[in-house]
Structure 1
């Protein structure tokens, strides 16, 4: 697992930063939204304690190097609108998985792509990763477009991999190699 240090990544409109206990309410607002969790394998949060537990788990992951979840903050207002994470690190193979969520009222502004571009650059440069993986429900067209614009390539299809809100859901697996990232001039 990589050695993680407090990280702040700035983009034109966003700041990605470590989460802390002050982010519980904003984090809850994102994951209590049924639109955000539509393709998530868990129900929307119904209690702010769930957000507090998630933040505590994030802090523990920072400490043990098992995950890097950064809050996505609008620079103009300071509002936390989502998060992006690198997790399930496989140090020997220099790979991990990618996750992200943006509050639904902020969809359609390109924030996910902007945030992930910064996080992926950090992952390949500072963390020296070679491969980043993501999986997405094929019905989640917005998410698949974000991944493909960033250079991820479809690598596989797994029918009924998850149970989402009580129903089987398929998954499309995506991968991004460091050389793909470098080839596109990122």
Structure 2
């Protein structure tokens, strides 16, 4: 798991000592409002998922970074490349950031080096993002990063009895490189 450092963040592998912060992140109804599963209600859910995330590190299909504060290394969120398909040159991305850290540009600061890693190190040509179209902040984030909204999948998810659509976004390596200049 490559460690990536930015001005304010350290992207690193998740650790067992992240458990409490990881639970708090996914138990926050604001963070989970547009997620594909409801907010967690028990620390056991966090432990199960954290163990899975840590166990997937060598699988070459998932790269899940903890977004940590550069100063004290505490977990602020997560960002992932998943469904990595090197033969097809594509992957999907997702992210979650503690609501107390929203509006400070941290998600964008984390996303840029992950995209650079996907395109320059992994050699992928396409990254996709599946976003609930009501999540205006997340839509703006990926659009600022150069993603293009390519379609709408109606009634794609049903989470806690609520049916929602998916706005599908794509970013091509060629477009990223033009923007990165």
TM-score normalized with structure 1 length: 0.94
Q: Residue 58 of structure 1: CA displacement?
A: 1.0
Flag as ranges the 4+ runs of structure 1 deviating above 6 A: none
1:32–1:45 contact (8 Å) kept in structure 2: yes
Listed as ranges, the gaps of 5+ residues in structure 2 are none
Is 1:184 the counterpart of 2:144 in the alignment?
no
2:26 maps to what in 1?
A: 31
Q: Summarize deviations over 1:108-137 as a string: whole Å, max 9, x none.
A: 101001100111111111111111000101
1:8–1:16 contact (8 Å) kept in structure 2: yes
| 1:22-171 matched pairs, under 5 angstroms | 22-171=17-166
Q: Residue 63 of structure 1: CA displacement?
A: 2.1
2:61–2:85 contact (8 Å) kept in structure 1: no
Distance 1:98 1:69 in 2: 10
Listed as ranges, the gaps of 5+ residues in structure 1 are 1-5
TM-score normalized with structure 2 length: 0.96
Q: Residue 75 of structure 1: CA displacement?
A: 0.8
Distance 1:185 1:164 in 2: 36
2:18–2:74 contact (8 Å) kept in structure 1: no
1:41–1:165 contact (8 Å) kept in structure 2: no
Distance 1:143 1:164 in 2: 18
Q: How many residues align?
A: 181
